[in-house]
A and B are shown apart, each in its own frame.
Chain A
């Protein structure tokens, strides 16, 4: 059974000390769950005696389990892409990075976006923004709506 982020959060120091590099313990819990962070990234948990028990429990919960694979979209068949821009507009992460893109207008810059159409073909610029990785959603609308089956997830 996969633990919930809340279960993991309960075992963390809950001090939001930011030493792991994330804004709060909840965000760290989510990352732990997705395998994008290790328990050892939290120094307090490892070093301080009062967390020893929690540390062990966490290791039990997450430790042996291989980090969850997040499959991200990739361009499978660039030849077939006709630059229709549907992926660019439909992707919620693209729309969050640039609301103008979300309302249909083409990108005014390439940085910080996932999909951009360059010279009539789609290009993936910054896949780390994908919500499957950032927020662990099950989003796959880019794959679903590409009329030419260019984008594949998994």
Chain B
């Protein structure tokens, strides 16, 4: 029996680093401190739903193949393709992401992650708002006295967000924890997080932009003529604006309820401007996007570092080119431009609209990942990979951008190798 301390959980982008795992052989016996979501990642039956051998589809039937053959077939497909797309990347370590970018550059393909329609838009918004203010989660729990949750529901999606990093912990300058903090929840419905938030504000759907601009106007001292904003009484909006400027350190977390609704990145850029306005009034204010998958932020950071663009980069003419709406995975697939698709640790067939899913099943697709998924089922080639953070070590970025080193605590099934090794083999042959 072995015990591992300070294991990092890859159940969500919070990457909680205080998990204790007791392992007996290859069986995980006890997990301390991880939430149920994290536990299900640790204890999923090693055999159940796992892809255990490389498969190649011939005449519509998937046949077992050697890793060697699967890599050869992959290279063949990529070499003959004119418009390859490499997609996924939010559920694998940054080492794999770097290799993915190298492959994309070499085959003049496009590379994109799930974040292009999720939290990646903060970069697009930041271009418009001329940068943005952000903080680390450590600073949040030591200093923040006002937390704003906008269009996100940590009680369901980032289970330990309140307890580990934001509302409840007793920090250096917030010694009594929640008693010294205030919180506001802005959403279109009373979500699970509403029980925690001191001031829940339920607004009409798709009126976030209006609300943000109203708060900005209030902060700037303009007169507001309407009695209601976003379906909420003006007085209530004013009290929220007052809370924001009168706090000492306000941190705004936003989720898909803001960036994925009408207005998309324009909502986010308005929010970033609001944060800037509050800072100009002398209150420290920052924003943190609530990324979903555990290394979604990592992909954006790595790609930004290597190409200058955060997501949806196309190397079609030899150099990196970024134009959201044109070079992003969703749009390339929707326009049916892609003629070969590599999926690493994602499941676009279940998550994309049916028409795109059908298109994916028609083009040669290569799937690299640990589990059998609807995407692996329609793929021409599927190659099994280890699970990052359990069977494989590597670097992942927490939702506030802090890189952490994941540990290996259990052995993978026989013959299954890390995605990093698979991508290296592919790159070598291209």
Chain A residues with CB under 8 Å of chain B are 81-86, 88-90, 95, 99, 102-108, 110, 116-121, 145, 147-148
| Beta-carbon contact of B35 and A104 below 8 Å | no
Q: Are B5 and A84 in contact (CB under 8 A)?
A: no
| Contact in complex: A117, B18 (CB < 8 Å) | no
Residue ranges of B at the interface with A (Cβ–Cβ < 8 Å): 5, 16, 18-20, 30-40, 43, 141, 155, 159-160, 162-165, 168-171, 177-178, 192-193, 195-196
Q: A140 to nearest B CB, angstroms? A: 14
- Contact assessment for B39 and A119 in the assembled complex, using a CB-CB cutoff below 8 Å: yes
- Is B32 touching A117 in the complex (CB atoms < 8 A)? yes
A-B contacts, 16 listed (Cβ < 8 Å)? A81-B36, A83-B34, A83-B38, A83-B160, A84-B162, A85-B33, A95-B170, A99-B170, A104-B165, A108-B20, A116-B32, A117-B32, A120-B34, A120-B37, A145-B195, A147-B196
Q: Which residue in chain B gives the minimum CB-CB distance to A86?
A: B163
A81's closest neighbor in chain B, by CB?
A: B36
Q: Which one of B33, B164, B192, B195 has the highest number of Cβ atoms from chain A below 10 Å of its Cβ?
A: B33
Chain B residues, Cβ within 8 Å of A89? 163-164, 168-169, 177
Contacts of A90 in B (CB 8 A): 163, 168, 177-178
Q: Do residues B33 and A117 form an inter-chain contact, with CB atoms below 8 A? A: yes
A-B contact count (CB 8 A): 103
Are B33 and A82 in contact, with the CB atoms below 8 A?
no
Whether A120 pairs with B31 at a CB distance below 8 angstroms is: yes
The reply to whether A121 and B169 form a contact with Cβ atoms under 8 Å apart is no
Contact B18 A103 (CB under 8 A): no
Q: Is the CB of A84 within 8 A of B171?
A: no
- A-side contacts of B169, CB under 8 Å: 89, 102-104
Given A84-B163, A120-B36, 18 more A-B residue pairs with CB atoms under 8 Å apart are: A82-B35, A82-B159, A83-B34, A83-B159, A84-B160, A86-B163, A89-B164, A89-B168, A90-B163, A103-B141, A103-B171, A104-B170, A108-B5, A116-B33, A117-B34, A118-B31, A119-B43, A147-B195
Bound-complex Cα distance A82 to B161 (A): 13
Would you call B31 and A119 a contact (CB within 8 A)? yes
Residues of A within 8 Å of B192, CB to CB, are 147-148
Chain A residues, Cβ within 8 Å of B193: 147
Q: Let me know if B177 and A106 touch, CB within 8 A.
A: no
